[in-house]
Amino acid sequence: MLRILAYLALVFAVGYGFAWLANRPGEMTVTFGGYEYQVSLMVAAVILTAVVTTVMLTWWLLKSIWYSPQTISRYFRVRRRDRGYQALSTGMIAAGAGDAVLARAKNREAAKLISSDQEPLVHLLDAQASLLEGDHDSAREKFKAMLDDPEMRLLGLRGLYLEAERLGEKQAARHYAAQAADAAPQLGWAVESTLEERVEQGDWDGALKLVDAQRATRQMERDAVNRRRAVLLTAKAISQLDADPTAARNNGLEAVRLAPDLVPAAVVAARALIRLADLRKAARVLETMWKKTAHPDVADVYINARSGDTPQDKLHRARKLQSMKQNNAESAIAVARAALSAGELKAAREEAEAAIRMAPSEGAFLLMADIEEADTGEEGRVRQWLARALRAPRDHAWVADGFVSDRWAPFSPVTGRIDAFEWKAPVERAPRMIEQDSEADLAAPVLDKPKAQPGEPSKSVIDAVAEDDVVEVDIAPPPEPAAPPVAKSEAKPKPAAENKADGAANKDVAATGKDASKTEERADAEVVPFTRPPDDPGVDPDEDNAETKSRFRLF
């Protein structure tokens, strides 16, 4: 557009100049060789312009003739290069589509038309064609050859890294990734692999340097980088807690600042502060974290912060935590455990029952079993709480890629992924849906089981055994041969006296059989010490008198 405007401006200027000369008549006299030439000013300007134009055209023509061989050669070279790039483009598309035959053919064509020294993509297409053909050894050799070219070095490292991953050579893959990360920290695949290696080796300083390089390249969001740095600082603080509490405190507090919701960071920072006798600041850090997330590790460190505290002092600190996070199951469990240690069994029972009502869990029922054992000592009730714990949802734990751990770790032991552990219920055992016990149910005797209402689905045999219900398995005897049918005319009713006699005889036989069965059971009980599984708390005496229809039968 600017060139067109410049051309129009030039034409306008030339026309304006000729018009200006035409409006101002004059003569021009030139004396040359004894002759005097006199022409008008307008004619002189036209002659001068024609001479200049002729000289320029002559110079362009001579220059074109002089450079015509180079021009012709460049034309054919550009045409050859365009054909080569077209073949290269088609080959790369074929390689991406998985067409090995077309990719190899276009690679040969591109190699003939384009010099591989001028266009490195020819080497890439050659390696991709070898991979598609299944010749991985040749592809690795071509990737290794790329390492000598500074422009192709990163591409060669990437290819060797993928090949090592395919072969399962984890160490070799991380070796190539480390070289790529040192040369280009902005490469995400290289930094991630190297970071996982250094974290597994415990090289926290090296891992932090890589995270700082990621922050400098701005390849990740700021919050993600801060979270990753907080995880690494927490792991470093845990490793320094015994040897250098001061460094552990500094790293833990920085981790808390970067990730305020990271529970392990607050816990390790508080432990380091406690070792440095700064209990007030440690309590402040734990209280802040407790208000955000009620975690049992936070409660444990907070309650046992001072080693010389009595059980009553620990109970007071547990109640202080509960006041910060009311109507919470973890708060109730923390108070219940502290009350159990202090010997206040009534308060422990109330808090444990409240925790069960809010969030039934395996740990809450186990705690209730401990309280029952310390309070009443009745083995049946204790076993009943243990049976409920078996059916309750599992307690929360640190879970990463299906791996369950009681302790937090900075990376997953399965995949090596950083910050993989989450505080949640494990999924290895599907939690069974149980209803929250009401206050009346918790206050009632544990062994009193509610009767099944009409219309409710019957329970399975396993559930019945777990809930101490009696299960009778009656195996019917093989059927006897059918008697021949009797005609109605031949069938005569028995006298009433005979019926009464038969009924009395049947009763005597039933009583005799019943007594015999009881005698055999007592004899078996004397031989075998346990007549039921160890986890069976026994049968309520009231259930012995239950009707036969309430019992479960298989046949």
**Residue 467: inside a domain, yes or no?**
yes
Whole-model pTM: value is: 0.63
* Weakest-pLDDT range from 180-184, 270-274, 495-499: 495-499
End-of-domain residue from the set 29, 48, 66: 66
Residue 515 reports pLDDT greater than 90: no
Asked if pLDDT for residue 123 goes beyond 70, the answer is: yes
Residue 19 maps to a domain: yes
| pLDDT of residue 110 exceeding 50 | yes
- Could you say which of 35, 66, 97 is where a domain stops? 66
Of 66, 84, 108, which closes a domain? 66
- Give the mean model confidence (pLDDT) for residues 508-521: 43
Is the pLDDT at 317 greater than 80? The verdict is yes
Residue 308 lies in a domain: no
Residue 368 domain flag: no
Does 504 score more than 50 pLDDT? no
Write out pLDDT tens, residues 420-461. 999 998 875 444 444 444 343 444 444 333 433 433 433 332
SS3 state of residue 308: coil
Give the pLDDT score at 80: 86
- Listed in sequence order, the residues at least 6 apart from 209 whose beta carbon sits closer than 8 Å to its beta carbon are none
At 116, the pLDDT band (50, 70, 90 cuts) reads: low
Average pLDDT over residues 307-329: 92
At 225-256, the pLDDT tens digits run 999 999 999 999 999 999 999 999 999 999 99
- Residue 511 belongs to some domain of the structure: no
* C-alpha span between 96 and 103 (Å, rounded): 9
| Domain membership flag for residue 54 | yes
Percent of the chain with pLDDT over 90: 44
What is the residue-wise DSSP string for 347-385? HHHHHHHHHHHHS--HHHHHHHHHHHHHHT--HHHHHHH
Provide the percentage of residues in the chain whose pLDDT is more than 70: 76
Domain coverage including residue 466:
450-472+545-555
- Is residue 332 within 8 A of residue 301, CB to CB? The reply is no
Place of tokens 């008198």: 545
As given in the structure block, the two tokens for residue 13 are 């200027």
* 16 occurs within a structural domain: yes
114-129: average pLDDT: 82
| Nearest residue to 40 via CA among 12, 15, 60, 18 | 18
Beta carbons within 8 Å of 62's beta carbon, 6+ residues apart:
none
Report residue 47 CA to chain centroid gap.
86
- Residue 126's alpha-carbon distances to 98, 133, 173, 245, 247, in angstroms, are 13, 11, 22, 57, 53
> What amino acid occupies position 555?
F
What's the structural domain count of the chain? 2
Written as six digits, the tokens of 362 are 């395996």
Residue 71 CB contacts under 8 Å (≥ 6 apart), including other chains: 64
Q: How much is the pLDDT for 552?
A: 35
Question: Whole-number mean pLDDT of the chain?
Answer: 78
Q: DSSP string spanning 426-479?
A: -SSSPPPP-PPPPHHHHHS-TT-PPPPPTTSPPPPHHHHHHTT--EE---PPPP
Task: Report the C-alpha gap between 455 and 473 in whole angstroms.
Answer: 23
Q: What is the pLDDT of residue 345?
A: 93
Does 43 fall in a domain?
Answer: yes
